[in-house]
Amino acid sequence: MFNKILIANRGEIACRVIKTARRLGIATVAVYSEADANARHVRLADEAVLIGPAPVRESYLLGERILEAAKQTGAQAIHPGYGFLSENEDFAEACEAAGIAFIGPPASAIRAMGSKSAAKALMEKAGVPLTPGYHGDNQEPAFLAGQAERIGYPVLIKASAGGGGKGMRRVDRAADFEAALASCKREAINAFGNDHVLVEKYVLKPRHIEIQVFGDKHGHCVYLFERDCSVQRRHQKVLEEAPAPGMTPERRAAMGKAAVDAAKAVGYVGAGTVEFIANQDGSFYFMEMNTRLQVEHPVTEMITGLDLVEWQLRVASGEPLPLRQEQLSIDGHALEARIYAEDPDRGFLPSTGRLVHLAPPPESDHVRVDTGVEQGDEITPHYDPMIAKLIVWGADRRQALSRMRQALSAYRVVGVQNNVEFLSRLVAVPSFAHADLDTGLIEREQALLFPAAGDVPADVWLLAALAELLREQRLAQKAAASAPDAGSPWRLLDGWRLNGSAVRQLSLRLGEAVQDVAVSVVPGGYEFNLAGQRVFARGTLGADSELMAQLGERRLRAAVVAAGERRQVFFEGRSWPLAMVDRLHVGGEGEEAEGGLRAPMPGKVIALIAQPGAAVEKGAPLLVLEAMKMEHTISAPRKGVVKAFRFAPGDQVADGSELLEFEKAE
């Protein structure tokens, strides 16, 4: 076994590898960019080495700098995590040439599976079922369009070197093929340095099922069962579970055998995942092989009781697989939800900023949180906006679902937009609860997943007001305790006045809606007047912002987090971003709705679609912005005229930058 390893990655996966290494007594070396100087993985590692500026091409993708750091620190092996250099055969070869173990498959296996088109040709020879499509080298747009016609719409265009949903588009008709192809190629060249694509038949109502495989250097290979990763948005996984609902022992054995055959065909060593597209009738087709550890590997760990990172370390050091196929078994059911800094209501646009408040549910034998950030850390525009992975286990799927709902309702994130509430709705929709799964679930459940914003419940306004008063009281008591006249009655916030108790007014806002709450101090608490309704209130506010409240005769539990003027209220599995209103402040009238369109996030302009002077309809695409390696189309908010663009393709823009001049049509 190794004494010291270097982790050529960042964030959640780097922290995950450090956890296992520490348990095994292995020293760890972290690498970091300038943007990650204070990152959690740097804080956790035994040593850390700076490898470059924030852009990944100048830091985490520079194999020579990472190898130099390994030599400098005496690391015997490099764990690449996932993403970055984890599937780079040149880096694997460079590690071997330098006498440093690569904790992953041999370069030959990465090379064989690195091109989706080449991998499919190899799988065809190995007898693994394939989706109908074109996987060749001819990349002429007209030729590819012809292949799409031959295959029959709908088709899926996929970057051959891709992953994570990047460089992937579904096309339903010939008229849309050219634009989708151009967009795929742009995204692929920016994300992977290779714009080669393949075209496949799009399977209607498909399920995405993957098999975890593991091989060693002694010729042994096993499969550690399957994961269902069908629930996706923009071709990126959102929820994963193991085992796959409805999987029969016969189908599991067939898919497991196909996955092992695929791994053996390339002499696979280490952890890998063979991904399949499955029809509702049980038939399945090889999609690709990921020659690394997957983001969703914890659900496999939860149902097998194994540590896959430990297996990686043991296999890379030359040990045989710890268990044989017949020794592996499934225990219970596990679910994983990916907690992202993103805004589901704005097309899942990534969000950046400081994590002002971050309180995950407490971990236990059946609740696990894998994260690369802590409260106070920054979510930057440079990297994937994942906050954490929330994993739960249950004796069966029903119990696991119940525990996931409970854990999500306890998750508190303030400072960035996030998908926690969206995930809570997602695990509750009947189709997911009843395992009616396919990759289009989110799209077909739009009405339930994106409900219209309703009125704020009265309890939410009252809880925010109560928390504000308790917070004021706590601050006053703290100030009084350190003052020379600590016992002075003038320091009490008890509402006493010479001619009777005072009535004060708290004003709270959500968007354009402002709600006033009149407050009187009464024996034992407060009396609130909300829209003519009088309610007695009292409670306690913990240092962690947890609120135990009594409203009338009811006892309620909530959390109210203060950040600047924001008062984020968490109650009954939902959250409301209220704000305190200062009635004495006189502000401006705000920016006019027309005149310009602003960037929803930092990024780079990569294409101008509309022409200056062009009249456009509402929803017409105007330009394409790239952020976090994904393309985002900026569309016309209403019918109007594009007067002029403020930026050219290739220009970097800051969050909120005015992108173009737009004039509303009369």
Q: Which residues are catalytic?
A: 292
The closest of 250, 427, 399, 403 to 332, measured between CA atoms, is: 399
Enter the tokens of residue 108.
Answer: 């030959």
What is the DSSP secondary-structure string of 136-194?
A: SS---HHHHHHHHHHH-SSEEEEETT--TTTTEEEE-SGGGHHHHHHHHHHHHHHHHS-
Q: Can you tell me the distance from the alpha carbon of 446 to that of 454, in angstroms, rounded to the nearest whole number?
A: 16
Strand-strand pairing, 333-340 and 386-394: antiparallel
Separation of first and last alpha carbons in the chain: 73
Residues 615, 436: Cα–Cα separation, whole Å:
44
Q: What is the C-alpha separation between 550 and 530, in angstroms, rounded?
A: 16
Spatial separation of the C-alpha atoms in residues 417 and 185, rounded to whole Å: 30
**SS3 category, 524:** coil
Using DSSP, state whether 490 is helix, strand or coil.
helix
**β-strand 378-379 against 546-551: which pairing, if any?**
unpaired
Pairwise CA distance, residues 291 & 215, whole Å: 11
Distance in angstroms (rounded) separating the CA atoms of residues 90 and 420: 38
Query: What is the side-by-side order of every strand in the sheet holding 27-33?
Result: 47-52, 27-33, 4-7, 77-79, 101-102
Q: Which H/E stretch holds residue 659?
A: strand 658-664
DSSP 326: G
Cα distances (Å, whole numbers) of residue 183 to 92, 137, 315, 362, 459: 31, 19, 40, 42, 47
Interacting residues of 39 by C-beta distance below 8 A, sequence separation 6+:
10, 11, 32, 372, 373, 377
Q: What does the block give as tokens for 661?
A: 């001049």
* 371 close to 295: Cβ distance less than 8 angstroms: no
62: its two tokens: 């520079």
Residues 39, 377: Cα–Cα separation, whole Å: 7
Q: What angle do CA 476, 481, 483 make, to 5 degrees?
A: 90
The residue assigned the tokens 């071709």 is: 235
